Amino acid sequence: MSSIKNVAIIMDGNGRWAKQRHRPRVWGHVRGSNKVNEIVSESVALGLESLTLYAFSTENWSRPTDEVKNLFKLLKKFLSREKKNLIKNNIKFDVIGNYKVLDTSIVKIIDEIKVKTEKNTGMILSLAINYGGRAEIIDAVNKCLQKSEVNEITEQDITDNLYNPLVKNIDLLIRTAGDRRVSNFLLWQICYSEFFFTDTKWPDFSIEEYRNILNEVGGRDRRFGGIESGSNLKDNQKQANRNLKILS
């Protein structure tokens, strides 16, 4: 499992979980928000460098107005409840996406937690709120154009101007509730991610299943486009550079 250090999760299935139990969708979101704390705590215990959670996409605004309002009420409660734990557990907190359009009380809490945890040195916890992967790449390119006078933008330029450049490329993307798609999430950062799709809906996603997924994926042979395992990636890159010089 040591190779898996940066994890992203699409927390899907809250509404369907509630519907199966003949309860309103908001009940599923309440249970789902409680699950976040368990997975964050376990991620810290497992020594992850970063955990990025898809909380609200730019496309989620198309949901019923009451559901959207309830989602942000839950977000506000979650942030208020977990603020002390984030500080206590040395977690560096961030939000990726345009959260500034949200209610001012939510923006205030987010900014407060970001400031109070900015010097923390532990796991980076990023919540993707009002987030879209394409928008992030476009914004990064525009930042590059504003900052630089060069005619060519490099991969590193874009990486350095993403919403949270401290988060490295994602090692593992997990999606719950059965769908097999990435839904405009971290399109730049998942270029060499391992994917794991589980039928378990988010409110039922257990620490045991989480550990099993990390162990299973951690045992995969990640070659990053080469023929050797990830442990030899640097040597592969050196050889590739030598080959390019020969060909040129």
Among the listed residues 6, 12, 130, 161, the single catalytic one is: 12
Scanning the chain, the segments in alpha helix (DSSP H) are 14-20, 25-45, 65-88, 104-117, 133-147, 155-160, 207-218, 233-247
Q: Mapping DSSP to helix (H, G, I), strand (E, B) and coil, where does residue 56 land?
A: strand
The pTM of this model reads 0.89
Query: Is residue 197 included in any domain, yes or no?
Result: yes
Q: Is the pLDDT of residue 22 over 50?
A: yes
Among the listed residues 14, 37, 60, 120, the single catalytic one is: 60
Query: Is residue 116 included in any domain, yes or no?
Result: yes
For residue 68, the enclosing domain spans: 6-247
Report CA dihedral (239, 242, 243, 244) to the nearest 10 degrees.
Answer: 130
Query: Is residue 28 included in any domain, yes or no?
Result: yes
60 catalytic? Reply is yes
Six token digits for residue 129? 């709120």
Burial class (CB in 10 A: 0-12, 13-18, 19+), 75: buried
Query: Is residue 159 included in any domain, yes or no?
Result: yes
Strands 124-131 and 194-197: unpaired
pLDDT for residue 239: 53
Q: Kindly state the average pLDDT of the residues 80-101.
A: 95
Residue 242 phi/psi, 5° resolution?
A: -65, -40
Query: Is residue 177 included in any domain, yes or no?
Result: yes
241 catalytic? Reply is no
Query: Is residue 1 included in any domain, yes or no?
Result: no
Q: Which amino acid is at 10?
A: I
- The total domain count for the chain is 1
Q: Mapping DSSP to helix (H, G, I), strand (E, B) and coil, where does residue 86 land?
A: helix
Residues 125-143: tens digit of each pLDDT: 999 999 999 999 999 999 9
Query: Is residue 53 included in any domain, yes or no?
Result: yes
Q: How far is CA 219 from the centre of its chain?
A: 21
Q: What is the CATH number of the domain that holds 133?
A: 3.40.1180.10
Q: Which amino acid is at 134?
A: R
